[in-house]
Amino acid sequence: MGCFGFLKASMIFFNGIIFLAGAAILGVGIWVKVDSGSILSFLGKIDNAPPELGQVLNIGYLLIALGALLVVIGFLGCCGVIKESRCMLLLFFIIILLIFIAEVAGAIVILVFRPLADELFAKVGMAAVKSIKSDYGKNPDVTGLWDTTMASLKCCGFYNASDFVDSPYYTSHNKTVPPQCCRSTGTPCNQTVANSGMLVNGCFPTIKGLIDGNTVVIVGVALGIAALEICAMVVSMSLYCRIKSTRA
């Protein structure tokens, strides 16, 4: 009985935290999408605020989806234990199991099809460069997305600054590349794109370098999350079976 009570208290505590965190994230996501005018007005009052800061509104949908998922998981976990509802505990187990299976499947796909990664990245790169050349400087959404990415990662284009050649921005700014591509100036580079001394690395090489340099950390975090998910499934099934036996 003591072990049963400990498992119940643990489930309530951890799922309560998950529920509150999910509710907070969901609330922020809804606020970002519903009250976008006030947010833009607030951001506009910040001194020296970069224009790409307004792109924060684009993460609203991601926050809503993530928050809703956490709320559902936390609700099922807490209520399933408090009410000793086998149905809720089973749903909790199924959701965690599906997330775990998706993560394992993703890891297997990455390992098995790693030789095809270069080909996949090449196709993604072609699409990204095509988007830059056709829309950067003309489409506000594409321009803002790339400006935010380049400013955050301190990178330039997908591969390098040559991605911007013949883009609407390039042709309308006297054949210069965006200021994010310049190492030591806040204005568009007047030098040619071949002058690598004045240009930063592309975003793809930058991201690849970050991943390669933090492989151990990424693997450790992934294993930690997987361990927590396994523990959650074991505890939920233990309670599920215990509730069944006590009611039998």
Domain ranges of the chain: 2-115, 136-210
CA distance 61 to 232: 27
CA distance 86 to 247: 11
Judged against a pLDDT cut of 70, whether residue 246 lies above it is answered with: no
Judged against a pLDDT cut of 80, whether residue 149 lies above it is answered with: yes
The mean per-residue pLDDT over the stretch 43-65 comes to 58
Q: Give which of 39, 94, 98, 28 is closest to 66, Cα–Cα.
A: 28
The mean per-residue pLDDT over the stretch 169-190 comes to 75
Question: What pLDDT band is residue 244 in, cutting at 50, 70 and 90?
Answer: low
For residue 93, the surrounding DSSP H or E stretch is helix 86-112
Judged against a pLDDT cut of 70, whether residue 85 lies above it is answered with: yes
Q: Are 202 and 156 in contact (CB under 8 A)?
A: yes
Question: What pLDDT band is residue 94 in, cutting at 50, 70 and 90?
Answer: very high
Judged against a pLDDT cut of 80, whether residue 142 lies above it is answered with: yes
pTM to 2 decimals? 0.59
Judged against a pLDDT cut of 70, whether residue 145 lies above it is answered with: yes
Share of the chain above pLDDT 70, in %: 78
CA distance 15 to 82: 11
The mean per-residue pLDDT over the stretch 151-161 comes to 85
Please say whether the structural domain 136-210 has been given the CATH code 1.10.1450.
yes
What is the tens place of the pLDDT at every residue in 20-53? 888 988 888 887 777 655 544 544 444 444 454 4
Judged against a pLDDT cut of 70, whether residue 128 lies above it is answered with: yes
The number of CA neighbours under 13 Å toward the Cβ of 49 is 14
Eight-state DSSP code of residue 45: T
